[in-house]
Structures are given as structure tokens and as C-alpha cells.
Amino acid sequence: MNAYILGAVFIVAAPLLGGLLSGLDRVFAARMQGRQGPPVVQPFYDLSKLFQKRANIVNRYQALLVFGHLVFAAFTAFMIFSGGDILLTLFCLTLSEVFLCMTASSANGPYSSMSSQRELMQIMCVEPMLLLMAIGYYLATGSFMISDFLKADTPAIVKMPGFFVGFLVILIVELRKSPFDISSSHHAHQEMVKGITTDISGNIMGMSELAEWYEVAIMFAFSGLFFIDRHPISILFVVLAALAVFFFENLVDNVFPRVKWEIMFRVCWGVSFVAGGANLFFLLMMQK
């Protein structure tokens, strides 16, 4: 019961954390470019304005599909903090992203249609690493349940360094950061305007932004799973690791230019099968 309560609490806390991280992201980028930048809480002001505006509905399915995107993102957050099955958690996360692709495809606009295809390509790039990571957790802990990961004597990073390296690479794709922000971007260098959310507006765009905040919190929660164990002191390492990952991802975002999808595909699958595959082979050898 306590696990379900914790999961329910995180449904409320996740978008707050995601919005705060989005605000810090803007400040970090501004400082690297020698600008003042907006306040940290600017994303919350923006979200409030979006929910006060009436949406320009492109078709009757748009609101329903964006709502599905938000619901499954929130359910993914619930699964993580209630200690659920990591395979089901990853399935819900993928389903949330598929709903976003369907939203863009339904708009029948040039930018949305092109970006929905690119978003599907991004899903194909990250899924192998996520599935390998789930198998790695099973071999390292003997369970697919996230609650069992928290009972381990040592953090997963000890047995899964290759998976962590691969996760850092696909995290750039999941957060839609340069050089792999081919379907959407918060920056002005995206040639498709706002990409996958170009035809979403008003309060529906507010739901999409809220879902994105959930995704940000979820991704950093996944990074924390590599460092947590049954010892309370590990929580400190989780926080420090999340901050280090945040710094790394934003540094990459502000240093590297956007690349074509072919390069993204080769890099993500290459790292997945080299780093992840080598780590998987190591874990299999340990089982013998």
C-alpha cells in the first residue's frame, strides 16, 4: 500500500520536478551563451498561460490523443515510484510517445507529418537500449520489479556500467536534445519550427508540455535507478548522479550541432550493441 501511495505522490511531484528542470535547462543554456536568460520558474508561467488559452482544434482526435500521451506519461511515473515491473513501465513510456506521434500524424500538416516520422525513428533508436537495460537489471538483481532493485546490496551501476553509458546516449534522444533533436526542439535551430507539436495550440499544448515534464522526471528517475540500493546513503548518490547527468546532457545540447537521422541511428544502435552487448555478455558469464 505504501508503494502505491508513493507512486500517487510522484504523479503530483513529477511535473513539478520536470518543470523545474526545464527552467534550469533554460538558465544553463543562457549562461553558456553569455545571456541572462529567463527565471527558473518561467516554464510554470508559460504553462499557466497555455491552459488559459483556447486551442485551435485541427481535428476531433487531437485532444483525445494528446490526453492519452499525458495519461500514459503519468502512469509511467506511477509505475516507477510504486516499484512496478520495469518492462511494463517501458511499454507505457513507449505507448505515451506513440500517442504523440499519432497526434502529429492526425494533423496532416507538412511539419507535423515529417516530425511524426522522425519521432518514430527516434523510438526505434532508443528501444533496443531500453530493452537491453531491462534484461540487464533482471540478470543483476534476479527480478524485473523496480521494488527489488531498491533491495540490492550494491547499486546496479557496479554490474551495469555499459548499460549506463548506453543510457546516457539514448537519453539525449529521449530528451530531444542536440545533436539528436530531429523531431522537435526548444531551440531556434530546428528547421521544422516546433516540429512534432507545430499544430498543437492553447490548452491542448499545455497538456503536451505537462506530459513532456513527466518524461523529463521519468528519464532522471531511470538514471537514479543505477545508483540506488538498500542503504539510505545511496539516495545522496542518486541525487548527485542525477545532477551530473543533467549537466552532461545540457553540455552536449549546447556544444554539438544537430545531425541527420542516419547518424543518430548508427550512434544509438552502435552504442547499444557495443556497450550494452558487452555488459550483457559480462552478466551472462557471471551467471555461470
pLDDT of 1 over the 60 cut: no
DSSP letters for 180-236: S--S--SSTT-TTTTGGGTT--HHHHHHHHHHHHHHHHHHHHHHHHTT--SSTTHHH
Report the pLDDT averaged over residues 232-238.
Answer: 92
pLDDT in tens, 206-219: 999 999 999 999 99
pLDDT of 190 over the 80 cut: no
Q: Where are the domains of the chain?
A: 2-287
- Tell me the CA end-to-end span of the chain in Å, nearest whole number: 37
What pLDDT, on the 0 to 100 scale, is given for residue 44?
94
Residue type, position 210, single letter: L
pLDDT of 110 over the 90 cut: no
CB 42 within 8 A of CB 23: yes
Q: Which long-range contacts (CB under 8 A, 24 or more apart) does 21-27 make?
A: 21/213, 21/216, 21/217, 21/220, 21/246, 22/212, 22/213, 22/216, 24/246, 25/186, 25/250
User: Chain-centre distance of CA 274, in angstroms?
Assistant: 22
